[in-house]
Homo-oligomer: A and B are copies of this chain.
Amino acid sequence: MKDDTPMPEIEKCMESAWRAFHVYKKYSLRERAHFMRTIAAELEKRSELLIATAAAETHLPIERLQSELKRTTFQLTSYADACERGDWLEARVDTADSNRMPAKPDLRKMQVPLGPVVVFGASNFPFAYSTAGGDTACALAAGCPVVVKGHPAHIKTSELAAEAILAAAKACHMPDGIFAHIRGASFEVGKALVMHPHTKAVGFTGSFQGGKQLFDWAHQRKEPIPVFAEMGSINPVFLLPEKMKESAAEVAKQYGASITLNVGQFCTNPGLLIGIDNEDLNIFIKVLSKEISGVLPEPMLHQGICENFYNKRSNALSQSHVELLAVSQTSPKENEGYPTLAATSAEAFINNPILHEEVFGPYSLIVKCRNIAEMMAVARCLEGQLTSTLIATDNDVINNEELVSQIQNLCGRFILNGVPTGVEVCLAMQHGGPFPATTDSRFTSVGADGIKRFTRPVAFQNWPNHLLPDALKDENPLGIWRTVNNTFTRDKIISD
């Protein structure tokens, strides 16, 4: 089996996607939604085979894969609902005023699709962030054809999902080129896809190195294009003193599970725990160490990820002033992750950027601060994050306003007294934080607001009602919410 789709075939795919774009963008919201729901149904039809194939390719447990596939079809159907509701079109109407001097023209604006979108699937989510995952669902809702580069670590799963999408495309009479699946184990394939003039946006989930490379290519193009790369994150957790006094042991138990969930292979894995060095933190450390030592090593997604985990882990543990606190009491076998807890001082952490890097896997570092001021210094030295978490009482929050504000400023999602793992699929979700967590903190890759990543606004000036897109017509045939002369409404517009 070849590892790479040949370049002439990639060229054909992109040409075909470009032609499909000009057809698909005219499809109604209902037709797009129907297509997305059909993809979900086609995935469900193939669920047994998809799960068996993914299990063989990724070492992820069956139960996790079952729930991930459910999440994937839920994304497709819930984004289909959002697509039809049409709020994301951000329709705005400002009606004409011929009495004003100079006369005010009629202006009506809505979001339109950008063009073909290239999606790079994630290794850690073979369904939900891959071929038929969130990026693909959002792009199709927006009106964009999709070209997926399947992840080499689960290429068979990817091809099966592609089959489901193509079956749905056929059943829904979609234009040729609406979707294509590309194989690319080599660097050149990714580069060709990002640099192709017909590519108008890129979605990516993976490492910092990978995402940053796509981002740089996209900016070297004659016509730069947006890249939505969700990259690494260490998801700092700030343990505030009053809450720790109340429930250090409980929090430690909760975090033992979160750190090691699915061998720590989540972009929202809590990799940094920042506390005040006192008796309560000692209790926390004692309980968490016990939890970690009781977790069994499990196989990681693939060899590359496992090697990377051990390299990063050793590098972190070999830094000065880093103390190993606990490992699983069971030795890991080949390809298995090794649940690990370490600690360091705030001073050592602040002065050593290596300790700020993600160790992708079941690893977390405790940072011991002498006081709140040192905790603030840690917060100040951190880069952008997908999530930040506060473990705090109301008093902790109220009495540390500046610290709380600083921590909020780091992240896209700000959790109070919970764990960052578990990314709910809903409109209020923000999955995307300041660089380097993602390349564009202004957008989310989870939740229906992710549709907007693949759109831009166009204003229509002075068009007669019958020639306008339905979303902007006086009679509001789609029944969507619009802003008419600065007021939100679903009403028809009554012309003078």
Which A residues are closer than 8 A to B by beta carbons?
Answer: 22, 25-26, 81-82, 85, 87, 90, 92-94, 102, 104-105, 107-109, 112, 114, 215-216, 219, 223-224, 226, 383-384, 394, 397-398, 402, 405-406, 408-409, 411-418, 422, 424, 426-430, 432, 434-436, 439-442, 444, 449, 452, 455-464, 466-467, 481, 483, 486, 488
Contact = CB atoms under 8 A, between A and B. Distances in A.
Nearest to A81: B486
Given A215-B224, A394-B467, A428-B94, A411 B458 contact: yes
Contacts of A81: 486
A92 B412 contact: no
Contacts of A483: 87, 427
Nearest to A25: B405
Contacts of A92: 427-428, 449
A415 B462 contact: yes
Q: Give the 3 A-B CB pairs with smallest separation, nearest first.
A: A430-B459, A107-B428, A94-B428
Nearest to A426: B94
Contacts of A112: 408
Contacts of A411: 458
Contacts of A457: 412, 430, 432, 442, 444, 449
A413 B459 contact: yes
Given A102-B422, A422-B102, A94 B460 contact: no
Contacts of A398: 467
12 contacts: A26-B405, A94-B429, A104-B424, A107-B428, A397-B467, A413-B460, A416-B467, A427-B483, A429-B459, A430-B458, A432-B457, A442-B455
A458 B102 contact: no
A400 to B, nearest CB: 12
A144 to B, nearest CB: 12
A60 to B, nearest CB: 18
A26 B408 CA distance: 12
> Does more than half of chain A's interface fall in helix, strand or loop, or is it mixed?
mixed
Contacts of A486: 81-82, 85, 427
Contacts of A462: 415-418
A414 B460 contact: yes
A467 to B, nearest CB: 5
Contacts of A481: 488
Contacts of A467: 394, 397-398, 416
A231 B102 CA distance: 26
Contacts of A384: 223
A486 to B, nearest CB: 6
Nearest to A106: B428
B107 A412 contact: no
A486 B449 CA distance: 11
Nearest to A418: B462
Given A430-B109, A459-B428, A488-B488, A223 B413 contact: no
